[in-house]
A and B are shown apart, each in its own frame.
Chain A
Amino acid sequence: MSIRERMSGNEAVAYAIKQINPDVMPAFPITPSTEIPQMVSTYIANGEMDTEFIPVESEHSSMSATMGASAAGARALTATSSCGLAYMWELLYVAASDRLPLVLALVNRALTGPININCDHSDSMGARDSGWIQIYAENNQEAYDNFIQSFRISEHPDVMLPFMACQDGFITSHAVENIELIEDDKVKAFVGDYNPENYLLNADMPMAIGPYATSPFYMETKMNQRLAMKNAKKVILEVAEEFEKISGRKYGFFEEYKLEDAEIAIVIMGSAAGTTKDAIDALRDKGIKAGLLKIRVFRPFPGEEIAEALKNVKAVAILDRAESFSACGGPVGSEVKAALYDAKVGVTAVNYFYGIGGRDYTVESATSVFEDLMKIADGSMEPEQFKYVGLRK
């Protein structure tokens, strides 16, 4: 029997960390993820877990210490947001190329410029090419469930890549909602022990990690990272299938909501997906065939699968919660459109921006996007690219 509880997204992740009881957690506080290390250190102080908590002086150090712990052979994780992730930047690439399995609880927040503490995806989207697995949550339940699955994916011998578990800052991190927790013993059995094959503290086999790679080796190393990311697709689905057995909750690369017979659809990630679902239900009541594709796994990017799922839609809007300033689309929009092109899916696609710097995305926002799509689908409106949803005019 699962445990019925109510928690904020940060509480849910901290609770998952308690249940996983990793070996090491270095962390430096930053809004809105501060509560995660705060709650974990309280659990430790209360004797509810025995993780080695390392208070460090910066996020550069927290990522370095997490990587060091992982290299030493420990199960390690940390948490951050926004500028904290930016301060980890150079290490993110090293964690991936060194093939260190570790987990980062990322609570998405806009990157400064102008300063802002609210949610958007500019922090993790900037890190999208660093070689990390990235999974996004719609609500506290998914933040918890994704976290429980994280180490199994990251530590899998065919993967061995760092894992970023993302949730929307404040919107889910600070909202108290109902949640179903899994019993401690089930989580423990599911996550299992971490027994790396080679690690720095193994006296029987001394080793060096992270050597300089000259050009004859650099490109080959990148190919191996890419293969690991490809392997992650298989492992993510296997772990999700096993997770369903202990939780009853089904996960894949993305969630399709009323997409099967949809004529118009929104592609979105994170907490805005639930809001979009309510808009879809209201439109369906009026006989409008609207649907949703909520991306859960952004790295590895399930391009072929997304194209397949969208092939019967007349018009689709891909919504980005981060600017890329390419003046030619956002990160999710560009990748989904590229996937549609490669799969020769000829759906009309627009790429909009929403929720930047915490701009509220409401049921009405979603409805307005669907209204555009209806007009685009029936030919009464020319598709307008890169619109800002909710921009004052």
Chain B
Amino acid sequence: MSKATDITKIHEQSPYYDITLGNQVYGGGGAAMFNTGEWRTQTPVIDWDKCTHCLLCTPVCPDSSIPVKDGKREDFDYNHCKGCGICERVCSFGAITMKEGI
């Protein structure tokens, strides 16, 4: 199992001999494969009329859930946003509000 195994094939039912050497995780960005958005208890919602695309929210997101394309932010990646609300705090224009539930 010491080759760069495809770790997406390893799960909680995998037998010991299928687990990588020292639990090593091969390949970058593996977190993108797991839907952690369902852990949310609050959900950020963007008001596009107020958003100025200043991009202050993007770097503070702990889950890289605010994608940017061509210098402008896009809607939240709800598959990975955990609803921490930091983006709401840093937004200077009141463009982000936290809504109860998913």
* B3 & A224 in contact (Cβ 8 Å cutoff): no
B26 at the interface (CB under 8 A from A): yes
Query: In the complex, which of the residues A216, A219, A220, A221 has the most CB atoms of chain B within 10 Å of its own CB atom?
Result: A220
* B25 & A207 in contact (Cβ 8 Å cutoff): yes
Q: Output the nearest chain B residue to A99 by Cβ-Cβ distance.
A: B22
B28 at the interface (CB under 8 A from A): yes
- In residues 43-68 of chain B, which contact A (Cβ within 8 Å)? none
CA distance A216 to B19 in the complex (A): 11
A349 at the interface (CB under 8 A from B): no
B21 at the interface (CB under 8 A from A): yes
> Which one of A206, A211, A214, A216 contacts B28 once the chains associate, using CB atoms below 8 Å?
A206
CA distance A11 to B13 in the complex (A): 51
* A205 & B26 in contact (Cβ 8 Å cutoff): yes
The distance from the CB of B33 to the nearest CB of chain A, in whole angstroms, is: 13
* A197 & B27 in contact (Cβ 8 Å cutoff): no
* A224 & B19 in contact (Cβ 8 Å cutoff): yes
Count of A-B contacts judged by CB separation below 8 Å: 62
A178 at the interface (CB under 8 A from B): no
* A198 & B12 in contact (Cβ 8 Å cutoff): no
**SS class of chain B's interface: helix, strand, loop or mixed?**
loop
Q: Output the nearest chain B residue to A157 by Cβ-Cβ distance.
A: B2
* B24 & A208 in contact (Cβ 8 Å cutoff): yes
CB contacts (< 8 Å) of A217 on chain B: these are 12, 19, 23
B8 at the interface (CB under 8 A from A): no
CA distance A270 to B39 in the complex (A): 56
How does the 8 Å CB contact mask read for B59-80 relative to A, with 1 for contact and 0 for none? 0000000000000000000000
Residues of A within 8 A of B (CB): 97-100, 157, 160, 197-198, 205-211, 213-214, 216-217, 219-221, 223-224
Listed from nearest, the 7 A-B pairs whose CB atoms lie closest are: A99-B22, A220-B16, A206-B28, A216-B12, A208-B25, A98-B22, A223-B16
28 A–B contacts, CB within 8 A, in A order: A97-B22, A97-B23, A98-B22, A99-B21, A198-B21, A198-B24, A198-B26, A206-B26, A206-B27, A207-B25, A207-B26, A208-B25, A208-B30, A209-B22, A209-B25, A210-B22, A210-B23, A211-B23, A211-B25, A214-B12, A216-B12, A216-B13, A217-B19, A219-B16, A220-B19, A221-B19, A221-B22, A223-B16
